[in-house]
Amino acid sequence: MKIKAPAKVNTILKIVGRRANGYHDLAMVMEKLALCDELDFELTDSAIELTQDGQSDAGMEAHKNLAWRAAAALREAAGVSQGVRIHLNKRIPVAAGLGGGSSNAAAALKGCNQVWGLNWSNDQLAEIGANLGADVPFFIYDGPALVEGIGDRVTPITKLPKLFILLINPGFAVSTLWVYKRWDELNLACGQSSVTSLNHEGSSPEPRAPSPDFEWLTVNKAGDTVPPLFETAADVVSHLDNDLEEVTAGAHFEISEIKTFLTDAGASGALMAGSGPTVFGVFSDARSRDDAVAKVKNSSWRVIATEN
């Protein structure tokens, strides 16, 4: 059995609080991309095995891979005695802000769910996924979503308009853990006025309403979906926002350099993806996006034309 594990971008990423355990409360709009890793699954007698090719972390042991850990977590939770052999073909850049590891974990949960004949619901799989990484629950469900809390509250969005996207990765990795830690340091240093639930003494944060600028994303919910919030690509571009961009860009000038390149090359908007360092540009059509590819002169940049 073969399952695709898509990359993602956050068109909006807002930090709205910080918990006593160090986790951050987030409010995000997330969309999946055509760029995918691919996982093959084969039922085995007992062991969980993982092999991979394509781009990967040099020397990574299988049991440290999120896909392996996801399979192990599901087997333990379900009391399964059988094993699985997973082969991972990597196409999504590693530690790039595109959610590749989390997507692999979600694909492993869904694949093993089928291989072992468990018939667990998406909600059950997402509960397992939330313990593996903040982005994992998002990838369990289809389509774009409003994602809140520590990634555990996923509300599907009916749809986003067609987005023609150019990803540019500067050729180095960024630690998500470092980015959030640095964000805390910077905001504590300036007194932290915008995130009122940040607690310096370590007690539990008080409930906090969304900031006025973000409230429109959390109202008018109906059932399991949010009404269409973005009618056109221009609507998406006008709300591009990432609280982490300033942190990563402050340490790596390449972020600003790539954003400038993308807008000069015709993108209607550009934003860092997740914690970075990948930057994505939104283009009006496939031709203008592909024309921008030909303008890239920096040989260290990895350039990927894709869409949602």
The catalytic residues are 8, 135
Query: At 255, phi and psi to the nearest 5?
Result: -60, -50
Q: What whole-number distance in Å separates Cα of residue 92 and Cα of residue 281?
A: 17
Q: What whole-number distance in Å separates Cα of residue 254 and Cα of residue 277?
A: 8
Residue 41 one-letter amino acid: F
Q: What whole-number distance in Å separates Cα of residue 265 and Cα of residue 281?
A: 9
Q: Which tokens hold the place of 145?
A: 């979503």
Nearest of 129, 175, 177 to residue 153 by alpha carbon:
129
Inter-residue contact 26 to 150 (CB < 8 Å): yes
Query: Are β-strands 269-272 and 302-307 bridged in parallel, bridged antiparallel, or unpaired?
Result: unpaired
DSSP string, 53-104: EES--TT--GGGSHHHHHHHHHHHHHT---EEEEEEEE-SPTTSSS-HHHHH
Inter-residue contact 93 to 169 (CB < 8 Å): yes
Inter-residue contact 306 to 125 (CB < 8 Å): no
CA 217 to chain centre: 18
